Amino acid sequence: MTEETNDATILSSPRPAANLVVKQGPQIGILFPVTANTIVLGREETCDIIIQDAEASRRHSRITWEDNDFFLSDMNSTNGTFINGMQIIAPTRLKPGDSIGVGQTLLTFELDAEKTAQAEYEPPAEAAPVAPPPASGEAVAASVRTGDSGKSKKWLLIGCGCLIFACACIALALVALDLTDILDLGIPVLSDYNILF
């Protein structure tokens, strides 16, 4: 009879203590304890974990404890949510050591099997430590991991378009100056100075 009672009363194991540690971004080094069954990450002041990153959405992603596992899901953020460099489109199980990308911020998911998740969340102090800017190689690697290479391509295309537009304007100006010679308006043009094109 006691064996049946024990089997019937075990519904789920208690939620283990978990933490998110900021590895890259403005809040580098800060540890956020995951203290509830649902935690919302984002820039908004009402979020459980406030990410101070302009690339993060107001309500960016959510961590939930379901079926004895932690899951990460994107909350229709602008720049997406990433686990180990891969963008997630559905709730995805988190494993200890997973890297979570939210904007330009990288957090590592950690479990503490010895503790239970009973500690209360304390928001970070008002003056968060400022991380030194990453070296150029690290910045490129971070953009690849967090999936914002589309922004780099966008700015590259805008720059090329501006360059082509400037060249076209110069060519039109040269043609216009040469036409004044044909109309004989008396305006000196480049061809008057024996410059060949």
Query: Mean pLDDT in the chain?
Result: 76
Structure tokens at 25: 């971004």
Q: Decide the pairing of beta strands 105-116 and 16-24.
A: antiparallel
Nearest CA to 143 among 25, 22, 21? 25
pLDDT (0 to 100) of residue 125: 54
pLDDT (0 to 100) of residue 191: 59
pLDDT (0 to 100) of residue 154: 78
Q: Provide the b/e sequence for 29-58 (b: ≥16 CB within 10 Å).
A: ebebbbbeeebbbbbeeebbbbbebebbbe
pLDDT (0 to 100) of residue 60: 95
pLDDT (0 to 100) of residue 15: 78
State the pLDDT confidence band at 49, using cuts at 50, 70 and 90.
Answer: very high
Nearest CA to 128 among 96, 101, 99, 105? 105
pLDDT (0 to 100) of residue 186: 60
State the pLDDT confidence band at 124, using cuts at 50, 70 and 90.
Answer: low
pTM of the model: 0.52
CA pair distance 134, 151, nearest whole angstrom: 18
Kindly state the average pLDDT of the residues 171-192: 65
Q: Decide the pairing of beta strands 38-42 and 49-50.
A: parallel
